Structure 1
Amino acid sequence: MDIVVVTTVIASLFLVIGLAEPLAARLRLPYSVILAVLGILIAAGAIFFLRTTLTDALNPVAEAILGLPIRANVFLYVFLPTLLFQATLGLNIRRMLDDWVPILLLAVGAVVVATLSVGYALSWFSTLPLAACLLIGAIVSTTDPSAVISIFRSLSAPRRLARIIEGESLLNDAAAIALFGFFLGFVMLGLPDPTLEDALSQFPLLIVGGALSGWLLARIAVRLMGLFGRYELAQQSISVALPYLAYITAEQSIGASGVIAVVAAGLTLNIVGPGRLPPEAWTNLREVWDLLAHWAGALIFILAALLIPRMLEEFRLSDAGLVLVVVLAAIAARAFILFLVLPIMGRLRLSPPVERPYRSAILWGGLRGAVTLALALAVTENFRVPVEIKRQVGILATGFTLFTLLVQGTTLRWVIGKLGLDQLSPLDQALSKQVVAVSLQTVREDVSRTTANYDLDQRIIRSEAKRFGDRLEEAVKQAEEDTEILDKDRVTLGLIALAGAERDTIIERVRDHSISSRLSEILLSDADRLIEATRTGGRSGYRRAARRVVAYGKAFRLAALLHNRAGVSGPLSRLTADRFELLLSQKLILRDLDGFIHGRIRRIHGRRVSELLTELLSRRVETVNTALEGLRLQYPGYAETLERHFIRRTQLRLEEREYNTMWADGLIGEELHTSLMQDIADRRAASEKRPRLDVALQRSELVRQFPLFSDLDDPSVKQLARALSAQYVNPGEVILRPDSTARSVYFIATGAVELERGGQTWRLGRGEMFGQLAILTEKPRRFESRAIVPSTLLVLDEARFRRLLKRSETLREAVRASAEKRGVDPDTIIPAAEPKPRKKKTPA
């Protein structure tokens, strides 16, 4: 085939891709539907020109189109890794982990249910063996949710709902292709129908082998990319190689799932990459992959659509009934998940509640596309598959895909309109009118100030001012005549706007290097949680999400357990250092939000709402300051080091701004500016390396600060520091319950604890202890203790406490005072002190 003709055809396909997106927007149809229709029309036109006798001028072009080397391996080894890898890079992993249960159940569960539903339905209405029917079920079970996601985003649907659909789509591709490979083996070898035992014996290698190979290759790639900090093109080139090497290694060398390997590699790079690469490099890498995935997704749709006329050449009238069976079984399987499983998960609080209109839109939006056609093509090209099975697979998969694209895809917007999802709620309508009125008023003031600085015709200025004033008056009138918004709703909307402003501030701070790129994803995830929790729970949801930001999570507790039980301090050191930097960044961000409340929010919602939001923000600031002060007390030296680290980054940012200003003003030349920027980049790369936190050393310093241990010598302090274990508790968390067996004594390193017994309460603070009397009296505890602020406790077991009590006079005095305060005779519970070792007399 002439290379000039092939190049012309490929360039023309890119031209079609460029025209398809604006055409889809104009026709209000999903982008994938337009691509598929254009692909079918191109293939049908090529066939027409080859068979017609009207003209032979276009025959070379038609032959080039129909002769393109479109094979299943092109889809599976070239396009699929690109799409999967980019999807994993674009995921918010930390937010996805919040919903891993519904995502996993919907992805894997939906694929399994759809495969079984379609497979057994076909086996009842056709003569195909069960393995072939299940193979068809696996091929048609993977969905392309891009249409629904894009429409949901245009409708301002809940972000959590769109995120669950994205996670489901990514994982159901992996699950469907894994099932496809499993059933294809039975069909090729002509084995008996597969059993559950067969599946359980082969799936672990597919899943675990793919995940491990993808993770290992991604770790190697990240290390290489970290070595080339100055060379962004080298980093991007390594990232491009990663998914293909992961796919090929898993498929060809290990015999595992290449799809799982690509997903694992992408997730690993998504988690580790922001901390190893500079912010600009990571942003540019994501943009490169967005472009590659856009081209790959468009090409795979067009090229797959080019095959549709050929795959339907042997279509028979009897096949229409089987296509209908596949359609009904697939829709029934998806309806089962959406209308039975998902509501049950919502009642169990494993999934966000999804309203019925949204579930109906998801059901009708379950489009199939290029992946389905690619898998069907892989079967039709396989010489080991019987001819009749190949024909049925090609026709049924193609027919079902055409139904979802041409029937469901073209009517999806209409269905969403009928469901009422394209309309704003009364609350949002009322708010939008108030926002428009306030915005127009601000614009009028700005225009008035701007035109005063120019020598313009006053007659024109007055005319335009009158026209704009009429529009403003109409907007104010509509806002006043509309249904009044309740104060409760105003507060909710104000908090949503406040959390949105917090997210924007985080992005701005990352761009000017005030916040490290490693923690930007965590901060953005916290801001998203604030927005979503406020949407669903109002003011109380905002408070819960704000408390979660400063709380000690499960990862922190697991790291503390590893440190205390196994002596592995690395995870605890990293998480503690992250907590330091997160709290410092939170303090910086929250400080900037006060102006937003008194500016925008006060204009839209009034003084009362702005004052309430100011109070809520002040409480957040106080909570962050308390948690930060606790860490400073616990790790005084490290806090100072980290603050110096922060100041140096700020100095670099301001220095960079000054050089850019001087360059823009022409005070320095291009060469000098480039040299100065390179110097700043080198110093910034060095400043991104956070100082190491030595938890063991810091704990020894902390023990020395306890008044209770002031009379211990250095060896005893070090021994005690090793014996103490840390326990991190959140506000309101119960530490000890009444009638529990006394096994440990608790020393308050940071925070405060409240003890309650019989209506009486005692509050203990930093440096104090509790739980000692129950051990010494050998009686069950009679009080309940709970933390009233984020607190760090040092825990000492009974045996070590008794030994320490004999050696420390200061500790015995503290125990004596607490016993007398509670009406317990101290002489009956405090053991005698150990005699001090007598010094040997030296001979005269």
Structure 2
Amino acid sequence: MDIVLLTAIIASLFLLIGAAEPLAARLRLPYTVILAVLGILIGGGAIFLLRTELTDALNPVAEAILALPIRSNVFLYVFLPTLLFQVTLGMNLRRMLDDWVPILVLAVVAVVVATLSVGYALSWASALPLAACLLIGAIVSTTDPSAVVSIFRSISAPRRLARIIEGESLLNDAAAIALFGLFIGFVMLGVPDPTLREALTRFPLLIGGGILTGWVAARLAVGMMSLFGRYDLAQISVSVALPYLAFIIAERIVGASGVIAVVTAGLTLNLMGPGRLPPASWANLREVWDLLAHWAGALIFILAALLIPRILEEVRIGDFALIGVVILAALAARVLILYGLLPLLSLIRLSPVVERPYRVAILWGGLRGAVTLALALAVTESVGVPVEVKRLVAILATGFTLFTLIVQGTTLRWVIRRLGLDRLSPIDQALSNQVIAVALQTVREDVARTTENYELTRDIVRSEAKRFGERLDGAVKAAEENAEILDRDRITLGLIALAGAERDAILARIRDRTMSSTLSERILSDADRLIEGARTGGRLGYQRAARVSVGYGRTFRMAVRLHNRLRFSRPLGRMTADRFDLLLSQRLILRDLHGFIDGRIRRIHGRRVADLLHELLARRAEAVDTALEGLRLQYPGYAEELERRFIRRTALRLEEREYDAMREDGLIGAELHATLMQDIARRRAGLDSRPRLDLAVEKAELVRCFPLFDDIDGKARKRLTRALVTRYVNAGDVLIRKDSQPRSVFFIASGAVEAESAGQTWRLGRGEMFGQMAVLMQKPRRAEVRAIAPSTLLVLDEARFRRLLRRSPAVQAAVLDSARKRGIAPETLFPEGLDAA
């Protein structure tokens, strides 16, 4: 093909891609539907031009269009890695972990159910072998919910729903293509009826090999990118190479799933990138990938649609019945998941509730698209697949894709409008009216000052003021009409605004680089959780999300188990250091939010709401200070190092601002400014590496500062330090249950616990111990003990505690004092004297 003509065609396709988006917005149709229609029109027009005698002048163009190198390998090896990789970079992984159950159900279970449903339905309705029917089921089971995501975002749908659909869009491609690779192997090998055992024996290699390949490739790429430092273009170039190399290595060398490898590589880079790359570099990388994915998604859709007219030329009357079977079976499978499995999982509290209107929208929004057409094209190009199977795969996949795009895609907005999802909720409408009224009042005051300063003509000012006042009166009237809603929900509205301001403050500190980039995603995730908690649960939801941000999560508890049972301390040391950084950042942000309450929320929602928010914010700050103080008590030296690091980072940012101001004022030249910026970048690079937390050293220091262990000599103290096990607990955790057998004694390093026995309660704090009475009396526990604050405990087993008791008069005195307070005679604890204890 002539390179000039090919270049002209590709450039023309980019023109169509540019025009498709505004056209889709004007027609209120999904963007992918417009691309598919354009592709079908171009492909059909090229065929028409070649077969008509109306004109021969455009025949070379038509021949060039039909001769475009549209192969399945182009889709799978060029476009698909780009799409999958970009989706993983844009995902909020930590928040998606909150909804991993519905995501996996829709992305994996739904794909498997749809594959089986379509496969067995076709096997019953046609003469195709079961392997070929299951292959068709795998091809049509992957959805393209990008249109639904964009529509939900445009109507301010809950972020949780958008996250679920984004997770589905990523993982269902991986699951469907993995199943496709499995069943096309059976078809090409001539296995008509594969057994479940045959499928399962190959599936672990596809998944496991892909995960390992993607993880190793991403780790190597991140290491290379971190070496390149401030060279943004070099880092972006490495990221572009990563998905393609991971895909090719997995497919061609390892024999695993390239899709799984690309997804794993993207997830790994998403988790590691923000901590290893400067924030500006990471933002630039994300922007480049957004553009690449936009082009790749549009090209894969429009090129695949070019093939549709040629594929449909071979359709027969009986094929329409099979297309109907595929449509019904696929919809039935999706209905089963959305209305059967998901409500069941919500009922047993394994999954968050997905409201019925959103389930309808997800059901009707299950559009199929370019990936389905690309997989069908791969089958038609396979030499080992029978001709009739090729024909039916192409026709059924194309027919089903056209149905979803033309029927479901064009009616999707109508369905959403009928469900009422395009309207603001009463609480959002109330917030909108109130904010507009306050904003317009502020604008009117500013305009009045501006017109006075510039001495504008009084008649013009008077007429414009009247016009503006009418708009303000309308906004105030709308706000007053919602007074009842505001009275009931203004606290919730204030909390949403407060959480939003917290997120904005975090972003500002990340941009200023006064906040650790390592934890930027985690801190932003906590802010998003506050917003969602306030929106869905009001004050209780906000407080629940605030407790989660301060408490110990599942991964922290897992790291504690590794430390306690296997003596593997590196993950716990890293997470404890992260917790230090997180709490320091939270404390700084919370102190700045009081000004936002007084400056903004008080004007919108009144004094009572503002005072309540001040109180809630003060409680959060107190919880953060308590947790931070507990860490300081455990690791005093490390806390000082982190605070010094923060002060130095802040000083660097202020110094940078001064140099920028001098450059703008002309006090220094460009060359001197560049030199000063390089010096700041060098010093900042040294501060980006956080000091390492050595838990063994810190525990020894903690034991040395513990009052009960003051009278123990050096060697015995070292043995005691090795024997003590650190245990981290959250507020509300039960430490000792009533009637349990005594096996350990607990020493409180930080925090506080509450014990309850026989209707009485008492509290213990830092430096005290509990559990010793039951150990010495050899009786079941009579009290239940639970933590009332995030606490750190040192745990000692029974045998070592008895040895400690013999050596330490301070511990003996503490045990006797505790016994006297509870009315327990010393001889009950030590019937043979203290020496025999």
TM-score category by the smaller chain?
over 0.9
SS of 2:485's equivalent in the other structure is coil
> After superposition, what is the alpha-carbon deviation per residue over 1:176-229, rounded to whole angstroms, capped at 9, x for unaligned?
011111111111121131111111111000000110111011111111111111
Q: Contact (CA 8 Å) 2:122, 2:322: kept in 1 or not?
A: yes
Aligned to 1:63: 63
Q: Which moved more, 1:581-590 or 1:438-447?
A: 438-447
How far apart are residue 828 of structure 1 and its match? 4.9
Distance 1:816 1:354 in 2: 57
Aligned to 1:247: 247
Aligned to 2:11: 11
SS of 1:344's equivalent in the other structure is helix
SS of 2:454's equivalent in the other structure is coil
SS of 2:794's equivalent in the other structure is strand
Q: How does 1:303-452 map to 2 (within 5 A)?
A: 303-452=303-452
Q: Are 1:812 and 2:812 an aligned pair?
A: yes
Q: How does 1:795-834 map to 2 (within 5 A)?
A: 795-830=795-830
Q: Which moved more, 1:183-192 or 1:66-75?
A: 183-192
How far apart are residue 590 of structure 1 and its match? 0.9
> After superposition, what is the alpha-carbon deviation per residue over 1:771-816, rounded to whole angstroms, capped at 9, x for unaligned?
1111111122211111111111110011111111111121111112
How far apart are residue 637 of structure 1 and its match? 0.5
Q: Are 1:786 and 2:779 an aligned pair?
A: no
SS of 1:747's equivalent in the other structure is strand
Please give the TM-score of this superposition, normalised by the length of structure 1: 0.97
Aligned to 2:159: 159
Aligned partner letter, 1:168: E
Q: Are 1:98 and 2:98 an aligned pair?
A: yes
Q: Are 1:587 and 2:569 an aligned pair?
A: no
Q: Are 1:74 and 2:106 an aligned pair?
A: no
How far apart are residue 263 of structure 1 and its match? 0.5
Distance 1:487 1:441 in 2: 21
Distance 1:827 1:314 in 2: 97
Q: Contact (CA 8 Å) 1:145, 1:365: kept in 2 or not?
A: yes
> After superposition, what is the alpha-carbon deviation per residue over 1:77-110, rounded to whole angstroms, capped at 9, x for unaligned?
0000000011111111111111112211221111
SS of 2:763's equivalent in the other structure is strand
How far apart are residue 832 of structure 1 and its match? 5.8
Q: Contact (CA 8 Å) 2:130, 2:192: kept in 1 or not?
A: no
How far apart are residue 483 of structure 1 and its match? 5.3
Q: Contact (CA 8 Å) 1:753, 1:764: kept in 2 or not?
A: yes
Distance 1:39 1:685 in 2: 50
Q: Contact (CA 8 Å) 1:122, 1:326: kept in 2 or not?
A: yes
> After superposition, what is the alpha-carbon deviation per residue over 1:527-575, rounded to whole angstroms, capped at 9, x for unaligned?
1111222222221111111111111122222222222322221111101
How far apart are residue 51 of structure 1 and its match? 2.0
How far apart are residue 430 of structure 1 and its match? 2.9
Q: Contact (CA 8 Å) 1:807, 1:833: kept in 2 or not?
A: no
Q: Which moved more, 1:528-537 or 1:392-401?
A: 528-537
Distance 1:333 1:761 in 2: 55
Aligned to 1:838: none
SS of 1:754's equivalent in the other structure is strand
> After superposition, what is the alpha-carbon deviation per residue over 1:156-180, rounded to whole angstroms, capped at 9, x for unaligned?
1111111111111211111101111
Aligned partner letter, 1:302: I
Aligned to 1:839: none
Aligned partner letter, 1:158: P
Distance 1:179 1:397 in 2: 15
Aligned to 2:260: 260
Distance 2:348 2:501 in 1: 33
SS of 1:453's equivalent in the other structure is helix
CA-based RMSD = 1.4
> After superposition, what is the alpha-carbon deviation per residue over 1:284-322, rounded to whole angstroms, capped at 9, x for unaligned?
111111111011000000100111111111111221111
Aligned partner letter, 2:333: A
Aligned partner letter, 2:198: D
Aligned to 1:562: 562
How far apart are residue 713 of structure 1 and its match? 2.0
Aligned to 1:512: 512
Aligned to 2:284: 284
Q: Contact (CA 8 Å) 1:301, 1:370: kept in 2 or not?
A: yes
Aligned to 1:214: 214
SS of 2:793's equivalent in the other structure is strand
> After superposition, what is the alpha-carbon deviation per residue over 1:594-647, rounded to whole angstroms, capped at 9, x for unaligned?
122222222222221121111111100110011111111111010001100100
Q: Contact (CA 8 Å) 2:101, 2:350: kept in 1 or not?
A: yes
SS of 1:485's equivalent in the other structure is helix
SS of 2:368's equivalent in the other structure is coil
Aligned partner letter, 1:567: R
> After superposition, what is the alpha-carbon deviation per residue over 1:432-456, rounded to whole angstroms, capped at 9, x for unaligned?
2222111111111222233333243
SS of 2:773's equivalent in the other structure is helix
Q: How does 1:676-715 map to 2 (within 5 A)?
A: 676-715=676-715
Q: Are 1:226 and 2:226 an aligned pair?
A: yes
Distance 2:417 2:651 in 1: 53
SS of 2:107's equivalent in the other structure is helix
How far apart are residue 11 of structure 1 and its match? 0.7
Distance 1:281 1:486 in 2: 43
Distance 1:720 1:454 in 2: 78
How far apart are residue 486 of structure 1 and its match? 5.1
Q: Return closer, same or farther for 1:451/1:686 CA change in 2, 3 Å cut-off.
A: farther
Q: Which moved more, 1:810-819 or 1:519-528?
A: 810-819
SS of 1:618's equivalent in the other structure is helix
Q: Are 1:674 and 2:635 an aligned pair?
A: no
**Structure 2: which 5+ runs fail to align?**
none
SS of 1:484's equivalent in the other structure is helix
Aligned to 1:842: none
Q: Which moved more, 1:44-53 or 1:744-753?
A: 44-53
Distance 2:452 2:764 in 1: 64
Aligned to 2:607: 607
Aligned partner letter, 1:222: V
Aligned partner letter, 2:643: E
Aligned partner letter, 2:582: L
SS of 1:748's equivalent in the other structure is strand
Q: Contact (CA 8 Å) 2:430, 2:486: kept in 1 or not?
A: no
Distance 1:172 1:473 in 2: 51
How far apart are residue 346 of structure 1 and its match? 1.6
> After superposition, what is the alpha-carbon deviation per residue over 1:818-837, rounded to whole angstroms, capped at 9, x for unaligned?
122222232553476779xx
Q: Contact (CA 8 Å) 1:20, 1:35: kept in 2 or not?
A: yes
Q: Are 1:37 and 2:37 an aligned pair?
A: yes
Q: Contact (CA 8 Å) 2:827, 2:833: kept in 1 or not?
A: no
How far apart are residue 663 of structure 1 and its match? 0.9
Aligned to 1:841: none
Q: Which moved more, 1:660-669 or 1:132-141?
A: 660-669
Q: Which moved more, 1:317-326 or 1:820-829?
A: 820-829
Paired residues in the alignment total 835
Distance 2:736 2:242 in 1: 51
SS of 1:510's equivalent in the other structure is helix
Q: Which moved more, 1:455-464 or 1:144-153?
A: 455-464
Distance 1:787 1:564 in 2: 19
Q: Contact (CA 8 Å) 1:750, 1:792: kept in 2 or not?
A: yes
How far apart are residue 64 of structure 1 and its match? 1.4
How far apart are residue 401 of structure 1 and its match? 0.6
SS of 2:795's equivalent in the other structure is strand
SS of 1:388's equivalent in the other structure is helix
Aligned to 1:84: 84
Distance 1:686 1:302 in 2: 49
How far apart are residue 712 of structure 1 and its match? 1.4
Aligned to 2:548: 548
How far apart are residue 716 of structure 1 and its match? 2.1
Q: Which moved more, 1:291-300 or 1:560-569?
A: 560-569
Q: How does 1:624-703 map to 2 (within 5 A)?
A: 624-703=624-703
**Structure 1: which 5+ runs fail to align?**
836-844
How far apart are residue 67 of structure 1 and its match? 0.9
Q: Contact (CA 8 Å) 2:129, 2:192: kept in 1 or not?
A: no
Q: Which moved more, 1:757-766 or 1:822-831?
A: 822-831
Q: Contact (CA 8 Å) 2:342, 2:351: kept in 1 or not?
A: yes
Aligned to 1:840: none
Q: Are 1:622 and 2:613 an aligned pair?
A: no
Q: How does 1:288-303 map to 2 (within 5 A)?
A: 288-303=288-303
